[in-house]
Amino acid sequence: MRDIKIDSPVESVDIRNSSRSELILGIEGTAWNLSVGIVSEEEVISFAESAYLPKSGGIHPREAAQHHAEKIVDVLREALKKMKEKGFSEEDIRGVAFSIGPGLGQSLRIVATAARSLALKWRVSLIGVNHCIAHIEVGRWMCGTEDPIVLYLSGANSQVLGYMAGRYRIFGETLDIGLGNALDKFARSVGLKHPGGPEIERLAQKSSRYIELPYTVKGMDFAFSGILSAAKKLAEKYPLEDVCYSLQETVFAMCTEVAERALAHTQKDELLLVGGVGMNKRLQKMLKDMCEDRGARFYTPPPEYTKDNGVMIAYTGLLMMRSGCTIPIEKSRVNPDFRPDEVEVKWK
């Protein structure tokens, strides 16, 4: 999409000294989930979503964008209706936040267009939110953690981060594909439905037989594609439950090792798990045990805020707006490769 050049009527609203409960509306739609959240500083006011589920294979970028375009009005209406049922009106909305990246370009553009239109219609601030940072901030909000090491494991992204000198620094990350994508690809190759993560978790619970797989940790980075190929081979000769179990044990042990190393190097004593893969109970257990062993605290938000959701965009939008991080319409171009360490964190 071309940059939109119009004289923006949008002005930054300073809500720092206001006593009224002012709301931010956030729209998420980087990949599979189109979602709208509305928050005040104190609570989630409203939440509506529509998931794109591919009929076959994995996410098709064009189909995902088509889904978002078809559903955006319905999802917005539902979120606004729920907000009104709580006694608020559209006039209480003081900013519109949207996921500006990283993500699938076509989907990002649908969401950005909707957000720009709403900001213009309501004459309020527009806030472009980094999707990864939003996972972190909603996790911190929900769990009440101050300064955690963050393990962010989703479909496309796998990183270990921590706040240091004004930014969320990436201490380690995947050298090839995201963990969720690796799980989804393995699941697809053995005929399980998308998304594969929960399917693998379900089957893994039926086994306790470990079959060796490659283990790839390099410093604080990890890699998953070699393990994915090896697991596909194992699935030709071993029961699927055993392969799912072995796959989970291997990749989650790698994530736990990296998270522990980050805690040790930074001397932080909180670990926060976010991103869709973070809903996995076995992963949570391994991380919790590791934290207990070293006297750290483990946190993960409720599942609806671990996976992609509009509330995380709204809440991060609220933090950003309070510190003046709004954008004029003409600078609101989406960034499919936006990395979290590019964001100057002015609200901490």
Q: Name the site residues for ligand ATP (rule: CB under 6 A).
A: 30-32, 103, 131, 154-157, 178, 180-181, 183-184, 195-198, 201, 275-277, 279-280, 307-308
Q: Using CB under 5 A as the criterion, which residues of the chain lie in contact with Fe ion when the complex forms? A: 154, 308
Residue 79 neighbours by CB distance under 10 Å? 24
For residues 12 and 189, which CB has a smaller minimum distance to ligand ATP in the complex? 189
Q: Quote the least distance from Cβ 194 to ligand ATP, whole Å.
A: 8
Residue 201 binding result from ligand ATP, Fe ion, none, given CB thresholds of 5 to 8 Å by partner type: ligand ATP
Contact criterion met (CB below 8 Å) for 159 and 340: yes
221 binds, among Fe ion, ligand ATP, none (CB under 5 to 8 A by kind): none
Nearer of residues 93 and 275 to ligand ATP, judged by Cβ:
275
DSSP 192: P
- Nearer to ligand ATP by C-beta: 80 or 223? 223
279 binds, among ligand ATP, Fe ion, none (CB under 5 to 8 A by kind): ligand ATP
Query: What's at 78, amino acid-wise?
Result: E
Buried b (16+ CB within 10 A) or exposed e, 210-247: ebebeebeeebbbbbeebbebbeebbeebebbbbbbbb
The one of Fe ion, ligand ATP, none whose footprint includes residue 183, by CB under 5 to 8 A per kind, is ligand ATP
Closest distance to ligand ATP from the beta carbon of 15 (Å) = 28
- Nearer Cβ to ligand ATP, position 93 or 287? 287
d(Cα 321, Cα 126) in Å, to the nearest integer?
Answer: 9
CA distance 37 to 142: 14
Beta strand pairing call for 297-299 and 270-274: parallel
Is 102 or 148 the residue whose CB approaches Fe ion more closely?
Answer: 102
- Give the contacts of 147 (CB within 8 A, at least 6 positions apart): 162, 163, 268, 270
